[in-house]
Amino acid sequence: METTQQPQLESERPCLDCTNGHRMSLGSSRECSTCMGKGTMSAPDFNAIFDAVTTTRKAAKGMRRFRQSAPEGWKKSTQGVDNRRAYYVWRMARFHGGADVTMPMVASLFCGKDAYRDELDAYADALAKKVFGTNLAGAHRWHNALGGNLNVKGLPDSAYSGGPVHDGNKPAIESEEKK
């Protein structure tokens, strides 16, 4: 897999989750965790995201392959925008590609109200198509689970009712259930 070309975006956008880097909560002001108190969000570095969601281990010389496990530092995703974005792209690509079709709730929480979420979604979608050969597996499975009636042929088994829901590389935090 080769690196991708970075789209042209404005260098920063206002944070969608706060006013001037602070949010009101229960009558007091606190620093916004989405923008880390800046009030704006810098454009994603898609080359850095690509490097975070791919690895050279077990790849042909000079090439990269999609990570089976979450990007390094993802557990610190509340510590920085770049880690949250890399985890979000990795997880959404797995969802769209069929490697893990359970709802990507943790990834959605990590990405929150990122000002560039639409671009991150488009990137994850394109990456899924390149890595897994499809970007429809998660949508197909959930559309039908919610009462739809799609019958697209040629998707991975995980796209269909009764198929596997993930490939065994699911982060533990996304597997935890209350007993």
Question: How high is the pLDDT of residue 179?
Answer: 40
Average pLDDT by stretches of 10, the chain with 179 residues = 66 91 82 89 94 87 88 69 92 94 89 92 95 92 84 85 82 58
CB atoms within 10 A of CB 124: 25
Q: Spell out the long-range contacts of 141-150 with Cβ–Cβ below 8 A and sequence spacing 24 or more.
A: 141/101, 142/101, 142/103
**DSSP letter, residue 58:** T
Question: How high is the pLDDT of residue 178?
Answer: 43
Question: How high is the pLDDT of residue 167?
Answer: 80
Domain residue ranges of the chain, discontinuous segments joined by +: 44-166
CA 128 to chain centre: 11
Is the whole model's pTM more than 0.75, yes or no? yes
Length of the chain: 179
